[in-house]
Amino acid sequence: MTGLSRLWTLFALACTAGVSLAGCGPLVLGAAGGTAVVATQERGFGGFVSDTEIRARINSLWLQHSVDMTNRIGLTVDQGRVLLTGRAADAQMRLDAVRLVWQAQGVKEVINEIQIDNGSSIIDTARDTWISTQIRSRITFDADIHSQNYSIDTVDGVVYLMGVASSQEELDRALQHARSVPNVQRVVSYVRLLPNPNLQG
């Protein structure tokens, strides 16, 4: 199997195995030229494949344990760092989800932001989706932000940003966009700054 074929296979497995699409964002499928574009430039091609493999392994572990787990918990992977969001049915599901993530080869860090289900309604879920969509739209149309390098998850009005920023100024702009959307309760940033080559000797 060629490298490109392997990438497509892994991507399809990762995106179909889990309900959350947050981690599928960096790859643009069906572009005008019929090509696959790895959008997260700073991570590089190899980094994206590795993250896709990790996501596929986690989804497989979750599916074997509980289909409900894959429906309730969001998953984002960035350079081996795994961000978990969503609403677990109970404390045991939350514990099992994190435990299974650590079993996946390649995981370097787990950021656990899973909430215990407090009876949130479909309206709450729809509002969270609307918030994430609004933030994605704002940073996409900001020419000073590399929007493809950010992942956005919203749970109960709390926005989680993850990815890499080329500068503090870019990160500040992304945070400001997130905070300016109505109904956002707070913004939690797990975005890393890229090293400044001008400061390296």
Whether residue 85 contacts residue 114, with contact meaning beta carbons closer than 8 Å, is answered with yes
pLDDT higher for 86 or 125?
86
- Chain-centre distance of CA 53, in angstroms? 14
Could you tell me the pLDDT band of residue 106, with boundaries at 50, 70 and 90? Answer: confident
CATH for 122-199 (3.40.50.1100, 3.90.1300.10, 3.90.25.10, 3.30.1340.30): 3.30.1340.30
Domain regions of the chain by residue span: 3-116, 122-199
Give the mean model confidence (pLDDT) for residues 1-14.
Answer: 47
The answer to which of 115-119, 144-148, 159-163, 170-174 has the lowest mean pLDDT is 115-119
What is the Cα–Cα distance from 126 to 65, expressed in whole angstroms? 27
Could you tell me the pLDDT band of residue 124, with boundaries at 50, 70 and 90? Answer: confident
Q: Quickly tell me which residue has 């994605």 as its tokens.
A: 136
pLDDT at 11 over 50: no
Whether residue 121 contacts residue 112, with contact meaning beta carbons closer than 8 Å, is answered with no
pLDDT, tens digit, 9 for 90 and up, residues 28-72: 323 233 222 233 444 554 555 589 999 999 999 999 999 999 999
Whether residue 157 contacts residue 128, with contact meaning beta carbons closer than 8 Å, is answered with yes
DSSP, collapsed to helix, strand or coil, labels residue 26 as coil
According to the model, what pLDDT value does residue 14 have?
45
**H-only helix segments in the chain:** 3-17, 44-65, 67-72, 91-103, 122-140, 168-179
DSSP, collapsed to helix, strand or coil, labels residue 192 as strand
pLDDT at 131 over 60: yes
- Give the CA distances from residue 67 to residues 24, 61, 64, 97, 149, in Å, rounded to whole numbers and listed in that order: 19, 10, 7, 12, 29
Could you tell me the pLDDT band of residue 199, with boundaries at 50, 70 and 90? Answer: low
- Give the CA distances from residue 28 to residues 2, 32, 112, 173, in Å, rounded to whole numbers and listed in that order: 19, 10, 27, 24
pLDDT at 130 over 60: yes
Give the mean model confidence (pLDDT) for residues 13-31.
Answer: 38
According to the model, what pLDDT value does residue 121 have?
76
Do strands 73-78 and 81-88 pair parallel, antiparallel, or not at all (unpaired)?
Answer: antiparallel
- Give the CA distances from residue 161 to residues 45, 79, 151, 152, 177, in Å, rounded to whole numbers and listed in that order: 22, 15, 6, 5, 11
Whether residue 14 contacts residue 24, with contact meaning beta carbons closer than 8 Å, is answered with yes
pLDDT at 20 over 90: no
According to the model, what pLDDT value does residue 107 have?
87
pLDDT, tens digit, 9 for 90 and up, residues 151-195: 888 888 999 998 889 999 999 999 999 999 999 999 999 898 987
| Arithmetic mean of pLDDT over the chain | 78
